[in-house]
């Protein structure tokens, strides 16, 4: 099965996803294309996006290529930037985050399943 996520690169796209998190939770990966640890996290994220068990939108931000967007995410969430970093957001609120080697398929699935209701 193919990974199912949207790549965003503008503050407008981010704002839309944040507003829509009232209807569907958002799982966002902040990914550095220059970092091997981030590459490993991206693989784990892609595995999760193939078949999430909850109604969720999965999105990717490439932090080097989209620095203003990455900065805006830090400002809006109040979460200090790290890369790689995964954020789980619902109703515009940050529910959970992890960075670096803590980003695994198992951790993502557990946190999403524990925090997001089935549809």
Q: What is the residue-level pLDDT of the chain in tens, covering all 119 positions?
A: 778 999 999 999 999 999 999 999 999 999 999 999 999 999 999 999 999 999 999 999 999 999 999 999 999 999 999 999 999 999 999 999 999 999 999 999 999 999 999 87
> What pLDDT score was predicted for residue 90?
97
E-state strands within the chain? 6-7, 25-31, 56-62, 85-90, 93-99
Report whether 83 contacts 20 (CB < 8 A).
no
- pLDDT, residue 34, reads 97
- Exposed, middle or buried: residue 80 (CB in 10 Å: 0-12, 13-18, 19+)? exposed
Domains and CATH numbers, the chain: 6-114 (3.40.30.10)
Report the pLDDT value the prediction gives residue 119, as an integer from 0 to 100.
Answer: 73
The reported pLDDT for the residue numbered 65 is: 97
Instruction: State how far the Cα of 88 lies from the Cα of 29, in Å rounded to an integer.
Output: 9
What is the spatial distance between Cα 29 and Cα 2, in angstroms, rounded to a whole number? Answer: 17
């Amino acid at each position: 099965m193919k990974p199912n996520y949207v790549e965003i690169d503008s503050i407008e796209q981010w704002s839309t996803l944040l507003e829509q998190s009232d209807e569907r939770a958002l799982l966002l990966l902040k990914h550095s294309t220059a970092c091997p640890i981030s590459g490993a996290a991206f693989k784990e994220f892609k595995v999760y996006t193939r078949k999430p068990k909850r109604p969720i939108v999965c999105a990717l931000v490439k932090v080097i290529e989209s620095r203003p967007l990455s900065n805006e995410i830090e400002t809006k969430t109040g979460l200090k930037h790290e890369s790689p970093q995964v954020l789980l957001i619902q109703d515009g609120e940050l529910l959970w985050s992890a960075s670096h080697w803590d980003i695994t398929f198992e951790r993502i699935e557990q946190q999403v399943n524990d925090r997001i209701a089935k549809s």
